Chains A and B, each alone.
Chain A
Amino acid sequence: MAEVREFPAVWLQGGSCSGCVVSLLNAVSPNIRQLLVDPVVPGRHVSLLFQPTVMAGSGEVALSVLPGEEAARGFILVVEGSIPTASPHYCMIGETGGQELSMLDKACELASRALAVVCVGTCSSFGGIPAAAPNPTGSKSLKTVLAERGISVPVVCIPGCPPHPDWFVHTVANVLLNGLPAADALDDVGRPLEFYGRTIHEQCPRRPDFDAGKLAKKQGDAGCLYHVGCKGPVTYADCPTRMWNSGVNWCVGANGPCIGCVEPSFPDLLSPLYEKICEERLPRLACTTRS
């Protein structure tokens, strides 16, 4: 058997709904079995040490695999979910040796030792719904928490509520093949431009309807969904061309206006989700600079 190099990964869940990991299970190529047990690219395998939704072990047995001091820069940390900061007790992730572990402390500790951090989903990338007003738990993005604690580590954000599985899996494959993405491969909020480089509106198959003034007036109408709340003009993602669930469909394909779930402004500045973009907010939505 050819030599296979192992790339250990640890996946923590904070203020999450598990939607990101469930979306990852929908990966097509590489699919999830390939991702778990096969080399994702020739000679390189992601060894998923810790992932609460799929891992066999429970309790202390499960926590025993979390990398200790000796593993400095030897693993990739994946974080799903927001980091509640109003109190560490808003999210406790386990108990070992009689000691309860908070998501806040454990995520920071592991991030400080990780080779890189991948924030999967809008919650860990930007705060997401848990951080929506009035943000009862003081939820923040991991990047914000790391900056506050002075922890420096490369961070790649794969937002989406949930993210498309390709965005995560193909980023992982890219890291295995080429190393960490260069700064100019990411936008100013840390998203790979390959997936988040153009607006939904630019790529939308209903763009001709918009240009021709064929605009849906109410939910369920055909035509461009701009007036019924579509946030495609301010949302950067390749959903219209990549499509979801093995290419079956996407939100606009089912007459569902884009809700902008990959954006730092989701959900508050994009709400109400089913009403036209609030134009006074447009300057605040223009958060990205692109080549």
Chain B
Amino acid sequence: MRRIVIDPVTRIEGHLRIEVLLDGHEVKEAKSAGTLFRGFEVILNGRSPVDAQQLTQRVCGVCPIAHATAATFALDAAFGISEKIPDNGRIIRNLILGSNILQSHVLHFYHLAALDYVDVAAAADYTGDNDDLLAVRDFIARGHLGPFLPRYEGDYRLPKELNLKATADYAEALRIRRTCHEMLAVFGGRMPSQCGIVPGGASNGPTTSKIASFLGRLDTVRRFIADKYLPDVFAVAGAYADHFAIGGGCKRYLTYGQFDQTPSSAPLTGRNRFLAPGTYADGRADKLDIAQITEAVTHSRYEGDGPLFPYHEDTVPSPEKKGAYSWLKSPRYNDAVYEVGPLASILVNYANGNPVVKPLVDSALSTAGLQADALSSVMGRHLARALHAKLTADAMVEWVGQLKPGEPHCAEWTIPPAGDGCGMVDAPRGAVAHWVKVREHKTANYQLVVPTTWNASPADDKDRPGPMEQALIGTKVKDPGNPFEVVRIVRSFDPCLACAVHLVTPKGEKLGDFRIA
């Protein structure tokens, strides 16, 4: 058996370590571990509950909006105002979330994932007139190639013209993702870490000037998604068609849904969302029952086995625990392993016959010559993410049109002496949930269960590996010295480790009576 350690896994958010054991060329065991702990939940306790909307955005600089959204849903509920959110506030929240989803997906495909497939060195002898490629050509000629070299070498399969196109689009995508943040700032003030999503709705209302500013940028981004992003995903998928057959993993999916279409006090399943919450397994979509979410700690460095419902959990670190290898816990649903992310949202809503999702997915499957089953794969995750970007961007045009300048954008509220709230939404990389307990007008307890905790979780109380581990196990690694397959599988999940690591202690250290009740 040969052991491969990849630490750091770069081009993700945060600090991730992957360890695989190879039998010949086949992955027999896989372990994923987060290697940074900051202790956000502990820091939030005792503060003003409203500050959670700002502070939790700093859990992740790539997806702060999903945290702002989950936090404000939780605060709306704790303050008893969930049903009072004005339409303008609800829509602006959706536009801010949507803008960042577009930013995140474009960033992920081009700037985080593409360098595993696209060879930028193809621009070395470029003779055309694209400014970006000419700049890359001159850069290569100077011979100092950081941060694009060194890298794993060998499995770059795109023909030269596609390498050139994808490299030019990498550069354009840098500007497009910046445009997404500009859109976001129209209502959010600034980005990363905006101030527009607040309890009660949005901090500022629509004006025709803001609407025009937003729409012009959205149009630019939509064109890029339709004309570049989707075609580039199909081009890469064509050259790496075998990647529709690797990295499938647990093939059970869970989504909290996105984009409320009406105000509601329902925590999740009762909400009317553009992309519905639900689960998908064995070819069938089902309703989501949040009471079925548990977290096991069998192979995590905490006392006990679980499984327990997150909000009622009592986590006691146990650094030396036998058989434990990760500081992530193992969220499970209905006693089974579930994957989260855009693929989950697409599969659930496809199976449900969502009128926007169904035709778009059918058309993409027909273009790629695939059955829906092929989406459970490395390339399927990329394709699902691109489709999610397209349908989100298209829907946003309609939502902007529903804004009503001059009408309310924020409901009034006061911080109650006591209240409990839960907020759930899909981040760009999957299901995120916040729970807040308010006592004496302050945060008495705060809990987060976030996408990468699901996807990168360790084995659970029944020794079932987490989704990313399952996706790695069984994979054939052609060249163990350049384990492309491993990093491609890991990156297809769009891991965000800053989000994922919670309530852990350092290796070999105890935190005394530190407890999360």
Contacts and interface: CB of A to CB of B under 8 A. Distances in A.
B506 interface: yes
A15 B487 contact: no
Interface in A236-277: 239, 244-246, 248-257, 259, 261, 267, 271-275
A250 B5 contact: no
B5 A254 contact: no
A181 interface: no
B55 A33 contact: no
Interface string A37-52: 1100000010111111
A52 to B, nearest CB: 5
Contacts of B174: 25, 31-33
B36 A256 contact: no
B389 to A, nearest CB: 17
B15 A91 contact: yes
Contact of A254 (B148, B188, B213): B188
Nearest to B60: A17
B161 interface: no
B189 A56 contact: no
Nearest to B137: A37
Contacts of B9: 58-59
A275 B54 CA distance: 13
Contacts of B189: 244, 249-256
Nearest to A273: B51
Contacts of B61: 16-23, 162
Interface stretch (B39-47, B333-341, B462-470): B39-47
Contacts, number: 286
Given A17-B58, A52-B8, A219-B200, A162 B193 contact: yes
A32 B138 CA distance: 16
B506 A87 contact: yes
Interface stretch (A130-138, A148-156, A198-206): A130-138
B192 A55 contact: no
B30 to A, nearest CB: 15
Nearest to B319: A89
A140 to B, nearest CB: 13
B254 to A, nearest CB: 24
B147 A51 contact: yes
Contacts of A251: 189-190, 195
Nearest to A164: B190
Contacts of B54: 259, 273
A6 interface: yes
B133 to A, nearest CB: 11
A59 to B, nearest CB: 4
Contacts of A21: 61
B130 to A, nearest CB: 12
A233 to B, nearest CB: 18
Interface stretch (B177-185, B379-387, B397-405, B422-430): B177-185
Nearest to B131: A33
Interface in B222-276: none
A127 to B, nearest CB: 11
B60 to A, nearest CB: 5
Contacts of A8: 144, 146
A4 interface: yes
B149 interface: yes
Interface string B367-389: 00000000000000000000000
A254 B54 CA distance: 14
Interface string B414-442: 00000000000000000000000000000
B346 interface: no
Interface residues of B, number: 91
A219 to B, nearest CB: 6
A61 B107 CA distance: 23
A95 interface: yes
Given A45-B142, A55-B10, A134 B60 contact: no
B109 to A, nearest CB: 14
Interface string B192-215: 111110111111110000000100
A244 B410 contact: no
Contacts of A129: 38, 40, 43, 55, 58
B508 interface: yes
A22 B203 contact: no
A92 interface: yes
A65 interface: yes
B11 A245 contact: no
Interface in B19-60: 35-40, 42-43, 46-48, 50-51, 54-55, 58-60
A63 B146 CA distance: 12
B11 A55 contact: yes
Contacts of B135: 33-34, 37-38
B38 A139 contact: yes
B15 A245 contact: no
Given A33-B132, A33-B135, A91-B36, 12 more contacts: A1-B141, A1-B142, A17-B13, A55-B147, A90-B38, A91-B37, A220-B409, A253-B189, A254-B188, A254-B204, A271-B51, A272-B51
24 contacts: A1-B141, A15-B38, A16-B498, A23-B192, A25-B107, A57-B152, A65-B150, A86-B506, A87-B507, A90-B506, A94-B8, A100-B7, A133-B46, A137-B38, A219-B199, A219-B200, A220-B204, A244-B191, A250-B189, A251-B189, A254-B204, A255-B195, A255-B204, A257-B195
